[in-house]
Amino acid sequence: MKATSGTTITKGSGSVFADLGFSPAEARNLRLRSQMMTALRKFIEKEGLTQAEAARQLKVSQPRLSDLTRGTPS
């Protein structure tokens, strides 16, 4: 740890979820969900789709797609 102007900096483990105290299994699950949601958002943007268009293609409702892209649990 290094103190700078009264601020303590602690090096992370490389997993924000583990650093937040989640179990190793839950940290892996959250990391995978995060990666999937990021990939989904990038795909929608790359294809120039609206959420409604993407939802139709993926056969889910637009509100569900919105939840998925925001990482909201089902």
For 29, half-sphere exposure in the C-beta direction (CA atoms, 13 angstrom radius) is: 6
pLDDT tens for 18-30 read: 999 999 999 999 9
Reported as a pLDDT band with limits 50, 70 and 90, residue 3 is low
Please state the domain extents for the chain. Answer: 23-74
pTM above 0.75, yes or no: no
Residue carrying structure tokens 């992370």:
12
Architecture of domain 23-74: Orthogonal Bundle (1.10)
- pLDDT (tens digit per residue) in 7-59: 988 888 889 999 999 999 999 999 998 999 999 999 999 999 999 999 999 99
Q: How far apart are CA 15 and CA 32, in angstroms?
A: 12
Give the strand pairing for 7-9 and 2-4: antiparallel
